[in-house]
Amino acid sequence: MPRSNYTGQSYDQPAQAGVLLVNLGTPEAPTASALRPYLSEFLGDPRVIEYPRWLWWLILHGVILRIRPARSAHAYARIWTPEGSPLRVGSEKLAVALQNQLEHARSGPIRVALAMRYGKPSVREQMEQMQREGVRRLLILPLYPQYSATSTGSVIDAVADAIKQMRWPPELRIVNDYHDDHGHIEALALSIERWWAEHRRGEKLLLSFHGIPQRYVDAGDPYFHQCHATAQRLRARLGLDESQLVVGFQSRVGREPWLQPYTDITVKRLAAEGVKRLDVACPGFAVDCLETLEEVAMQNRDFFTSAGGHMLHYIPALNDNPEQIASLAALVLRHTQGWPEFAADTTRP
């Protein structure tokens, strides 16, 4: 495939630095017709499904894409807002807030943009647009605190594919993960404490992370370790022990073993053991989405109450709250040290 043609950037325009936030993605509408191409791109990614390509192609196009779009559309319809997809709306708000935070503190021209790994706007589209705007130094910040080949690894693939098509790629840095970042842990803790102050604390706190197949971890993926490292740091910060803060993994599909314990089985077990009020937070998600708003706050709430619990409270993701913006801004500044656009502006208070 030929490389992209010259995009219209002037050679004498001032160079800018940019930050490209990347989130998972979302369909354009909560309909089966909109879900089909989105799921085809998502589930067709060899980073997400590590099966022989010929076999998975037959399964995906022969079975899954005939059935799952309608089911997923029903789930998306339960959380869709007048503004659109919660993940897209929340991610856009986060990007705007981060741009404002960086502009206030730094002297050089800085551009913050948002891309979706699957769906629109794509990583390639946004990188090319930023190049047209004069961005010559670019930090890629996947909105996945814990690294997995299925998430951050796939973003790196998309960035590499985009660079292959560019005649003049930008200077590039990538944030691999921020699972144990002090600012991030503090933002999570303050969010939970604020929730407890407003709504009263439950008997236990469950941290639910997105699951991946166990064989991915067996092959060397650090995700499981990083999830537990996040949980351990948050447990220490909140002053809880292992019986008060527990961990689960959600969203498993298929018959092979995924990371355990499973969230749905855990909430049922806790209810059967007599827990009446359960709080659930999802520290692997920077912005609320289908997996938090529908799977946890609705499906798992029903599992909990059906098993004898009284109330499952979902504690929202950090979204665009000030603590997350501050922690991400600090993360950006650490990863862009030496870039002149990110030098401190000493003329501002």
Residue 109 CB contacts under 8 Å (≥ 6 apart), including other chains: 14, 16, 17, 134, 341
104 labeled binding residue: no
Residue with tokens 């691999």: 176
Q: Which residues pair with 246 in a beta bridge?
A: 206
- Per-residue burial over 155-194, b = 16 or more CB atoms within 10 Å of its CB, e = otherwise: bbbbbeebeeeeeeebeebbbebbbebebbbbbbbbbbee
Residue 17 burial by Cβ neighbours in a 10 Å radius (0-12, 13-18, 19+) = buried
The beta-strand segments (E) located in 211-334 are 245-250, 277-281, 311-314
Q: Which tokens is 145 given? A: 């605190």
Q: How far apart are CA 349 and CA 177, in angstroms?
A: 31
Dihedral of CA atoms 177, 215, 231, 148 in degrees, nearest 10, equals 10
Q: Is 41 annotated as a binding residue?
A: no
Parallel/antiparallel/unpaired status of strands 277-281 and 204-210: parallel
C-alpha radius of gyration, the chain, whole number: 21
| Bond preceding residue 261 cis, omega within 30 of 0 | yes
Binding site: which residues?
A: 210, 291
Binding site for Fe(2+): which residues?
A: 210, 291
